[in-house]
Structures are given as structure tokens and as C-alpha cells.
Chains A and B, each alone.
Chain A
Amino acid sequence: MGKASASDRRVTNAHKKEKFAPSPIPAETVLPWSRNDTIAITSLTIVAAALRLWHLGYPPGPVFDEINFVGDAGAYLRREQFFTPHPPLTIQLIALGMWLFGDRPWSWRLGNALVGTALVAISYLLGRRSFGSRLAGALAGAFVALDGMFLIDSRTGVLDIVYVTMAALSYLLVLRFVQIRDSADRRRTLVFLGLALGLCLGAKLMVPIIAVILVSGSLIYTLETEAGVGIKRRERHRKVVGALLLTGSIAAIVYFLVFVPNFIILRWGGIEAWWRYVNATRWFESHMNAGEKTFWSDGRASPWWNWPLMLHPFIYWQRTTPDRSLATVWFASNPILCWSALGAIAVTILRLFRRPTFTNVFVVAGYIGFLAIYMPVSRTLYEYHYMPALYFGYLALAGILARCWRGETTRFEQFIMLLALVPAAELGLGFIGGSIALASLFAAWSLSFRNRGLSAQLVCVSCATAAFAAFIYFAPLYFAMPISPAAFQSRMWMRGPGAADWSCCPIK
């Protein structure tokens, strides 16, 4: 610790001396690991595992895109050639489950369930490190654990949870890099960072490039702005080049290693076959982008601007049971969390103007970056494409609510966070019930103004409690638990016509 402090002082002095060096954005304080951390991360992991593993074999057949990716995994095991535009890591994970435990639904889904559980633990560590707060870590982990999209993607054999988890791991590692000073430790961190980024790139086509840009930008910024005493610009550039070379090369090695099973099992002919895969993918994507409205186009699709408002989640799977109940897998976020995350991003952007921290810049850049990558895309897009951006939304939400708990937010910020609860109250409780609930909430908040800490804590508790209640309320639709058609309809808060429709298109 003493060594690090001395190093920190050197860094500070260096900035005083280096006239032209850009001023660094402060990173949050690093917390020492405590027993509370162990308890929190263990509890979150147990809860997340229970939610992700419970009744994993139901539905008993393919759900949504499982027809593609579980099929691809089966083709691996049969040594049958197949084409998917996505790099094969997640498909290999599904195939591994099938190889180990047989071709049955729970074994298709087991790998994703474990990865999705790991994401909750990573989110705790990331939230804790990002905001220097155990509460922020616990909230970040809990939000990911209780969100419908993250939960359902962990319980089905589809792609997104794996690359989102690897991206989260790379955010954690880059933040660690920013916050530590020991050269050897930093170099080791870069190796693991390359590993995480390679796995991220190996799990989904194109989208992880935003994670790579975020991480690379963070490395460049950190190394360029924290020059030590007497370190010249050239030396700084050497560090930047070295860090990017080390991380990038390892990421590329891991990315190509992901394809090795294709070379061995599917008898792909080396780099030539990989290049043909790249060209086939380009053809595939260009035909999708060319607006060929054939089997790609369906009512479940939604444009990027729909996602933050949660206007168009859709049904992954639905069946009528013999007693006329409806069992549904509804791919949707937790509405309280989704809308609150949007409020938290707004608050975080406002905070950037007052006190830009590394974390706040990183979170806002990540959120906007993962939305921006879809803005020019003309092919059909779906709500699940919002997951990597929403992840940053949950980080922001955890940070803001933790600050609320500590009484470090302004009334305006608290007001924005309460405002995010309005649509859920009005849609979920009806106009009269929702208005009464909101009036009571805002009245209680106003009455607590005399104690600033209390009013902020009220916001924190209100958001967290409402999110938990919403999870319980929507849980039957996340777990395909049979409910009456009336109960199903009551949960469809938006029913169109137009973009705002939650009940779209059960798959036959």
C-alpha cells in the first residue's frame, strides 16, 4: 500500500510538471476486500445460480434461436458442416454440454446458465470497483440477476450472454489496470484482458468491437495521462503501443483458438477456410442489410430507439397447457430496472459536466457505443441487441442508487430517478392506483427534504423495492410458469397498435 501511495504521489507530481499532459479523470477509490464482500458475492452467486438453473430443462424443446445455435452445436457433434455468421464459442459451449450430458434441453442450456451466473459475480466486482462502493456492487449484481433479458438469455442456448459476460470481465480488468500501479501486476492484467477480449470476440459477430474500442481507449487514455517523473512523450507512446500490442495479440490468438475445433472436428482447411467463412459472413450480412424481407423480417423486430423505452419485447415461446393456462417465455427486461437505467444514464451524463470520473465516462461511452453500433444497421434487429448497452445502464443505476443511499445526490437527480418509476406505476397499477401510489411516493419524498440523506435513501429504497416487486410479478413469464390467459394479459402493459407492443408473435 505504501509503495502504491508513493507511486501515486509521483504520478501527481508528474502532472504538475508536465505542462501539456491532459489532466486525468479520477478513478474511484479501490476498496480492500472484506468479509462483507465474500458474503455479498457468495449470496448473489447462489441466488443467480438458483434462478438460472431451476427447471432449466423446461421448455422441453427449442426456444427461439435455439433452433439455430443448438442445431449448430448438434452438427459439431455429428461432424456435419454448417454455417453461422457468428464465431463459434457459444455454440461450442452448448455442444460441450450436449457432449457431456446428452442431447437434452437442460444440457443445451447449462453452459449459458453457468456463464450467466458468473456475470452476476463479475457485476458485483465491477460495480464495487467502478464506484468504490460495496452497495453499488451488490446492486449491480442484483440488477443483472433479476433482469428478465439477462435471466432468459442465461436459461436458453442463444448467443448473447456469453459475449456480454466476457465484455464485462474485460471492463473489470481494464478498470483494475487503471487503478493499480505495479508494472508487473499491470502486465499480467493485460494478458488476462487479452484473453477476455479474445473470448468476447469469439462469441459474437462484430458487436464486441465496441468492447475492444472501449478497452483500447481506456488503456491509451490511462497510459498517456499518468506519466511518471521525467517520462517523455516517446516513452509514453512506447507503453501505449506495447500495451495494445500485448492485449491485441493475445485477443487475436484466443479468437483464432476458438476456431480450432472447426479445423479439427469439421475439417476446416486452415486460414483459407477461415477466410471463406469471413467472406460468407460478409455475403450473409450484406444480404440481410440489403433489406431482403424474407425470413429475416418479422413482427418481433424493433429498431434501436425502441429498446431503452422497452417498447417491443416479444415472446420467445408459448404453449397452452391442458388446463388452458398459458406457459410463456417472454423475452423482456424488468421494466422498472430498464426505465430506471435510462434515468440513471441521464443522471450520469449530467454528472459528466460537473465531475467527470473515469467510471462515468466509461459507462456513458459504453452505453452510447453499444446503441450507436446498431444505428446504421438496416437489417431486422431485436430487443436482445440492447443487452450490452443495458448492462452499462445497470452499472450507472447501481452507482446512482448507491450515491442516493450515501446522500450524495441532488434533489434534481433524485427527481429523475423517481420519474423513471412513473410509467411502471401508471401502466402496472392503472391510472387511479398508479396516481395514488405516485402521489404518496412524491409526497413522502417532499416531506423528507429536511433530511437530505433521508430523501435520497427513500429514492434508493423505492427503486430497489419496485424492481424486486416487478421481478416477482413478471417471474412466471421468465420461467414459463403456467398462468391464466387473464393473468398473462394483465402483464402485457403495452398492446399496440404500433411500436409499443409487448405481446408480439408467439412462435408456433
Chain B
Amino acid sequence: MSKIKLLLSAIASWGILAIIAPAIPLASQNLLTNGDFASGGGNSPAAWTPESWVSSPDTRYRWIAPFDNNPGELEIETTNTVNDARWVQTVRLDPGWYHIHAQARSENVGAGPGLAGAAIGILEFGTRFDQVKGDSDWTEIGFYLNVAEPSDVRVVLRLGEPWQYNSGRAFFRDAVVERVDGPAAGAQVWNLSEARALWSGNRLSILPVFIALSFAAAIGWRMCRTL
């Protein structure tokens, strides 16, 4: 009898779980390592790497460890000059939709046109993301990413972009990459395959160009035997 009860309760549990499971957001699993910036040593957070577009003594990176009830933060500061400065972490993403978001705030970040502010993004050419500029309080920023095939994606918390460099101080906390069913309505969406398609093509297609030009050069060489 007890065995039957046990079996029934197990089936019931699995049934309930099967009903509830889709409702449990997959998002609860942050695919970033140390996305809450809780661990690290010295000035360096675990799993995050600072990277400057151009190395400069005027660009500084800082990890602010959690204290009291305050969560950990990452800071980027660029003074006297401009730069594209980022904290970077590479994550492996399977096919599907992802919500990539964080909280950011800015101090004295240039707000003019053509200046990129503080943002969370992926390091793919041609992509642009929500930004905070000027002097701003904590703001939730993020976007949705569609991944068609298993890919390594470089997630960045950055201040400035190439050709749209900026200066000032940017702070980030609670960075999250979570799997979702699909993008929220009206949210910013990027497709990884499309972003990577810009420079795609058959590398060997340059060979006929070299062959044709070499042939032309050979004809020219022959025609120039008497000059």
C-alpha cells in the first residue's frame, strides 16, 4: 500500500512539476559567471577582463566589491581623453533567445550626438545598444539576442564605441544573460547570425582576382620587352 502511495505521490509530483516547469522562467539562471560582481580579488572581479580600444593611462577600471547591502559593481573611468573601454566576458550560447541586461549609471559621460554612453552589449560589429549618458541614476538597460547555432559571444559592459568614443565614469551592476522564450514586445532585438554575416563570404573568391591580375601583369611584362 505504502509503495502504491509512494508511486502515486511521485507521479503526482512529476505531474505538478511538468505543469509548473514552463512557468518557471529559464531566466533565473544567469549564464554569466560572476554577473553580480560578488567575487574577485584586489581590483579585479572574477571572470571579467578589462579591455581598452586604445591603451591609455587616462582609462581606468575598478571592481567595487559588495559592501553592507550594496551589490558588487564594475566601474570604467576615462578622463582627459576619450576611449572605448569595456569589461568583457565570453559566454557559450546554444541556439535560442537570450535576454542580456544590466543596471548602469553614469557620471559626467558626454551626452552629445555621436558619443556612445554606458551600455551592455555584445562585441559584434555594427550592433548598437541602449545607453545611459550624462549624469544618470541606476537604469536598467538591455536587449534580446537570437542565436541560431552554438556560439561564443563576448558580452561587454562598455563606455564608448569605436568612432563614438566617450569619457566620464560608468558603473554597472547585476549583469545577466538569461535564456528566454522570446523577446518582450517593443524591446531591442539583435540576431547574432545577421550581425556576423556582414563580412561573410567565400574567402577563396579572392583567388580569381589575383589570377586575373597576374595574367594581365604577365601580358604587360611581355608587351614591355622593348621600351
Contact = CB atoms under 8 A, between A and B. Distances in A.
B58 A71 contact: no
B203 A238 contact: no
A190 B221 CA distance: 9
Interface string A385-397: 0000000000000
A319 to B, nearest CB: 7
A190 B106 CA distance: 58
Contacts of A259: 206
B227 A295 contact: no
B54 A66 contact: yes
A186 B115 CA distance: 53
B15 interface: no
Given A183-B227, A241-B223, A250-B217, A71 B53 contact: yes
B54 A263 contact: no
A274 interface: yes
A246 interface: yes
A243 to B, nearest CB: 6
Interface in B205-227: 205-210, 213-214, 216-217, 219-227
User: Interface size for chain A: under 10, 10 to 19, 20 to 34, or 35 or more residues?
Assistant: 35 or more
Given A183-B227, A187-B225, A269-B200, A67 B58 contact: no
Interface in A56-114: 60-62, 66-68, 70-72, 74-75, 78, 80-83, 103-104
A306 to B, nearest CB: 24
A450 interface: no
B81 A508 contact: yes
Interface stretch (B5-13, B36-44, B161-169): B161-169
B221 A246 contact: yes
B106 to A, nearest CB: 17
A276 B198 contact: yes
A246 B223 contact: yes
Interface string A119-140: 0000000000000000000000
A294 B198 CA distance: 25
A270 interface: yes
B125 interface: yes
B224 A186 contact: yes
Contacts of B220: 190, 242-249
B114 A81 contact: no
Contacts of A323: none
A253 B203 CA distance: 16
Contacts of B205: 269-272
B167 A295 contact: no
Contacts of A249: 213-214, 216-217, 220
Interface of A: 60-62, 66-68, 70-72, 74-75, 78, 80-83, 103-104, 183, 186-187, 190-191, 194, 223, 238-239, 241-250, 252-253, 256, 259-260, 263, 266-274, 276, 294-295, 319, 507-508
Interface of B: 51-58, 80-84, 112-115, 123-125, 162-165, 167, 198-210, 213-214, 216-217, 219-227
The 9 closest A-B pairs by CB, nearest first: A269-B201, A242-B223, A246-B220, A295-B114, A245-B220, A272-B201, A270-B205, A249-B217, A81-B125
